Structure 1
Amino acid sequence: MEWIILLLAIAVFMYLRTKTTKGVKNISTNDLKNMLDDKSKQLIDVRTPGEYKTHHIVQFQNIPLDQLPSKVNKLDANREIIVICQSGMRSARAASILSKAGFTSVYNVKGGMNRWS
């Protein structure tokens, strides 16, 4: 009986960690490649400055996740925004922050830089 409760708790945890926030669309790195040259989009890398410096996509601006809430007012809520991190987890949190701040067109890159080639 205890293992059933444990499995249920793990399943709920995984669901909550991977569910998409309303208004946020998940895209693949292949989808991203088709969007990189679109100047109307805002491209934000939410990794740490050290991670960004080591390897990044040139078109992306670095705003670390921990700084995003204080810098969200410098972004245009009326423009599409794409967020990326190393694996997709921090960018999912960033996308949620942006969605709650009134951004209506937010894209999260699934798999992040781990899937970028």
Structure 2
Amino acid sequence: MDTLYILLILAGGLITYSIFVYLHQRRIVKILTEEEFKAGYRKAQLIDVREPNEFNAGHILGSRNIPLTQLKTRMKEIRPDKPVYLYCQSGSRSGRAAQMLYRKGYKELYHLQGGFKKWTGKVKAK
């Protein structure tokens, strides 16, 4: 019985943490539909935070690959004075990337709703 209570408390804590992270991301990054994303990404810095093998398999035309795993060391490649459009495969990594950038002072952060798998625009593959 005690094990059940512990599991319920852990599950409740995990759900609470997930809700907190979701709400925090919604506050710092604007989620854009594909149409909104297409309307603004040419005037911004377009960053693909997926790993290089995913990027090489196909990416949005004009994007730069800065994987989430390398973002801390490559952050100086992203200008803080220009809007940053982020995307990944589904949207979770770009949300984490936005949190990292926000903590470093980046304010104009946007990410693609549904990620690359929902993208129907121009794609380039290596």
Using structure 2 for the length normalisation, give the TM-score.
0.79
Q: Following the alignment from structure 1 to structure 2, what is the Cα–Cα distance between the partners of residues 59 and 94?
A: 19
Residue in 1 that maps onto 2:39: 34
Residues 65 and 7 (structure 1), Cα distance of their counterparts in 2 relative to 1, 3 Å cut: closer
Aligned-partner residue type, residue 8 of structure 1: G
Residue in 1 that maps onto 2:86: 83
Q: Following the alignment from structure 1 to structure 2, what is the Cα–Cα distance between the partners of residues 88 and 36?
A: 16
Match of 1:46 among 40, 46, 49: 49
Match of 2:28 among 20, 23, 26: 23
Unaligned 5+ runs, structure 2 = 121-126
Asked whether the equivalents of residues 29 and 108 of structure 2 are also in contact (C-alpha less than 8 Å), the reply is yes
Residue in 2 that maps onto 1:12: 16
Asked whether the equivalents of residues 28 and 110 of structure 1 are also in contact (C-alpha less than 8 Å), the reply is yes
Q: Following the alignment from structure 1 to structure 2, what is the Cα–Cα distance between the partners of residues 37 and 81?
A: 11
| Count of aligned pairs between the two proteins | 115
Asked whether the equivalents of residues 36 and 59 of structure 1 are also in contact (C-alpha less than 8 Å), the reply is no
Q: Following the alignment from structure 2 to structure 1, what is the Cα–Cα distance between the partners of residues 109 and 65?
A: 16
1:97 to 2:100 alignment: yes
Q: What is the CA distance between 1:21 and its match in structure 2?
A: 5.7
Instruction: Quote the sequence identity (%).
Output: 31
Unaligned 5+ runs, structure 1 = none
The worse-fitting range, judged by mean Cα deviation, of 24-33 and 86-95 is: 24-33
Aligned-partner residue type, residue 37 of structure 2: L
Asked whether the equivalents of residues 85 and 110 of structure 2 are also in contact (C-alpha less than 8 Å), the reply is yes
**Whose helix fraction is larger, Structure 1's or Structure 2's?**
2
Residues 67 and 4 (structure 1), Cα distance of their counterparts in 2 relative to 1, 3 Å cut: closer
Q: CA RMSD in A?
A: 2.0
